[in-house]
Amino acid sequence: MSDDCLFCKITAGEIPATIVREDPTALAFEDVNPQAPLHVLVIPRRHIATLNDLTDADEALVGHLVGMARDIARERGLDSRGYRTVFNCNTDGGQTVFHIHLHLLGGRSLTWPPG
Ligand code: 5GP
Ligand code: ZN
């Protein structure tokens, strides 16, 4: 837990969020400023600031986050239609909250490339 981290506060229940799915390793909740009809953030409970801070020991953790996103997309009936998952990293990637989070976006046709 990092004391000044917004998403650590969400995992600790200190800041409210609409939880979509959770288990001992990860938490998925609705983005407060959704960019698509479905916009969920999947985060590890453990504080990891950016993708740069991942180690080889975190491979299973990252797979777990992706699996959780897949399950939510399937549950919402978006699996065949499609959806997008993205991790933003640091300034050029557009990261604003420094606790890694996998964006899951779906429910509309998304353009590529992103802005
Ligand atoms: P980033 O820009 O770091 O990739 O994404 C951060 C995301 O967190 C943004 O999409 C933003 O809307 C979302 N966000 C920021 N503050 C909060 C909050 O307090 N609660 C929730 N649920 N989402 C937040
Ligand atoms: Zn954190």
What does the domain layout of the chain look like in residue ranges? 6-106
pLDDT per residue over 32-79, tens digit each? 999 999 999 999 999 999 999 999 999 999 999 999 999 999 999 999
Does the pTM of the predicted model rise above 0.85? yes
Number of Cβ within a 10 Å radius of residue 106: 23
Q: Which ligand 1 atom is the nearest neighbour of the CA of 6?
A: 19
pLDDT band at 8 (very low <50, low <70, confident <90, very high): very high
The C-alpha angle 89, 107, 78, rounded to 5 degrees, equals 95
Token code pair at residue 57? 């020991």
Nearest to 87, CA basis, from 47, 49, 46, 45: 49
Given CATH 3.30.428.10, say whether it is the number of domain 6-106.
yes
pLDDT per residue over 76-115, tens digit each? 999 999 999 999 999 999 999 999 999 999 999 999 999 8
For residue 44, the ligand closest to its alpha carbon is 2
For residue 97, the ligand closest to its alpha carbon is 1
- Give 40 Cα–ligand 2 centroid separation in angstroms: 17
Ligand 1 close to Cβ of residue 94 (< 6 A): yes
